[in-house]
Structure 1
Amino acid sequence: MNYYAPQGGLPAQTDLTTDRAVFTEAYAVLPRGTMRDIVTSRLPFWDNTRLWVIARPLSGFAETFSQYIVEVAPGGGSTNPETDLTAEAVLFVVNGNITVTIDGSQHALTPGGYAFIPPGLDWTVHNHADTPCTFHWIRKAYERIDGIDVPDAFVTNETDVEGIPMPGTDGAWKTQRFADPDDVRHDMHVNIVSFQPGGVIPFPETHVMEHGLYILEGKAVYLLNKDWVEVQAGDFLWLRSFCPQACYAGGPGPFRYLLYKDVNRHPKLTL
């Protein structure tokens, strides 16, 4: 698979400032050109690591998750990556190789590698390779329910997860589901959605789940609320609950994205 990963840097002084970045009351678009050196962050207890924070809870907007694009240089990583004991995580590697140890079990993640880490579990991450590694880190405060177990950790690769065609699409629209949709232990899903050229979401989806949507490959036009927006590999879309959405994949190759959504819980009635 060919996944886009940001490279940082800065545009030339002669470049135009105008781009596709937009923040509205219903959605945000962070084009790949916004992910530059000067907007990176650092974290406590991480060595030789920088990250782009592309989503965080904001009152009155999207409120359930944060998402980072993490770049770990050779020799970098952390023995104490998560300081919030309520946080669950999904890691998805887009470039290079990383070693993740979860509750004492070591896993080598290559591009397409996917790890789900439940809250409160000990884990570490290190780059033992000679080249940088880039991965997505999606975090959510796990919503515990009396009588429902916390889901188990698991590690896989997207090449081992079959894409399920959406009904009536003849394979033009598929979803790779890493967690069983019927498993109510999970309160978030992070899946990969793929469209072949000409594939569409043929109606404006309008639903309670909020979305983080990072485009791994290809380009398309995406309906966000009332606006049709051109998007491409490396762009990030952030959708509030009930924001109407649809898309049309124009080609010439597949259009694929990593999709977060919150699931399987009652909406909170008090803040």
Structure 2
Amino acid sequence: MTAKYYAPTGGHPPQTQLLTDRAIFTEAYAVIPKGTLRDITTSFLPFWEGTRLWVIARPLSGFAETFSQYIMEVAPGGGSDTPEADAGAEGVLFVVEGTATLTVDGAAHTMEEGGYAYLPPATDWTLHNHTDVPLRFHWIRKAYEAVEGLPHPDVIITNEKDIAPTLMPDTDGKWGTTRFVDPTDLRHDMHVTIVTFEPGGVIPFLETHVMEHGLYVLEGKAVYNLNNDWVEVEAGDYMWLRAFCPQACYAGGPGKFRYLLYKDVNRHMGLRLSGK
């Protein structure tokens, strides 16, 4: 399978461009369209050389509660020997453009487009771009919720092209999910998957559930119902959905609609508000 994922390149719109855009921020959901991922909205991180990033989700009261998500852009020769400053953070990397050299516990791995890595907390890892073209990848971070009696998950390094999607029943093959982690492995407290809809595929009911979502559109376009608002999304757009936000979609084509999906899973609900 040949995949082509959308990756932002920055730049700046001309003064002649209209202000009108599709950015939405509500208490239930947010839509960050690709047009907002410009040079002036980038950030930088300590100990990362030749690297800038777009922060598209972060823990914030009333917004993303469980995770952060970055789109990283690493110039040729850039990278980091100390990428993660929080020993309690787990991470998922997903490459959308270029080639990364990921070194874990001294072993080097080449990650090309579609490359996925799960990195448990306290993992010794580095990442560099040894090529002559930019590297762009998603980095999803979460504070790992340890459970007494369960060990930390193992490192996973693979590529979505090597994993057959699991098709949803009774959908004529129009709705599938590429799973990088066994859903029954309760060591994991988050899942990052790729959801694919063929043209005409739908979520035929308003999903309403406790899992928080981050959705980055890798390919195609669709219409999403978010808390009873219909919004159009396309490759490069990002959606954040609060827990229990009603959600459904229709993929009208002409090509596949695919997105990178985050959700929190497999843990008891905290019964005390933070600080109480």
Mark yes or no: TM-score above 0.5. Answer: yes
Question: Following TM superposition, by how much is the alpha carbon of 1:60 offset from its aligned partner in structure 2, in angstroms?
Answer: 2.5
SS class of match (2:35)? helix
- Could you tell me which of 188, 191, 216 is aligned with 1:189? 191
Q: Structure 1 residue 62: deviation in Å?
A: 2.2
2:11 pairs with 1:9: yes
| Partner in structure 2 of residue 99 of structure 1 | 101
Residue of 117, 125, 128 corresponding to 2:127:
125
Identity %: 70
Return the letter of the residue paired with 2:11: G
Where do 5+ consecutive residues of structure 1 fail to align? none
RMSD over equivalenced CA pairs, Å = 0.5
The one-letter amino acid paired with 1:127 is: N
SS in 2 for 1:64: coil
The residue matched to 1:159 in structure 2 has which SS?
helix
3-state secondary structure, aligned to 2:94:
strand
1:31 to 14, 21, 33: 33
Greater mean deviation of Cα atoms: 56-65 or 225-234: 56-65
Q: TM-score, normalised by structure 1?
A: 0.99
Taking the aligned partners of 1:67 and 1:268, their CA distance within structure 2 comes to 22
Give 5+ residue unaligned stretches, structure 2: none
Match of 1:256 in 2: 258
2:227 aligns to what?
Answer: 225
Q: How does 1:78-89 map to 2 (within 5 A)?
A: 78-89=80-91
Indicate whether 1:237 and 2:209 are aligned: no
Distance 2:44 2:55 in 1: 10
After the TM superposition, which residues 131-170 of structure 1 pair with which residues of structure 2 at under 5 Å, given as runs? 131-170=133-172
1:208 corresponds to which of 204, 207, 210? 210
Shift of residue 247, structure 1, vs aligned partner = 0.4
1:139, 1:91 → 2: CA distance? 9
SS of equivalent to 2:68: strand
| CA deviations over 1:103-154 (Å, ceiling 9, x no partner) | 1111100000000000001100000000000000000000001001100001
Q: Aligned to 2:172, what secondary structure does the other structure show?
A: coil
What letter is aligned with 1:92?
F
SS in 1 for 2:63: coil
Q: Is the 8 A contact 1:62 1:241 kept in 2?
A: no
Tell whether the 8 Å contact from 1:218 to 1:253 is kept in structure 2 after alignment. yes
* Structure 1 outlier segments of 4+, above 3 Å: none
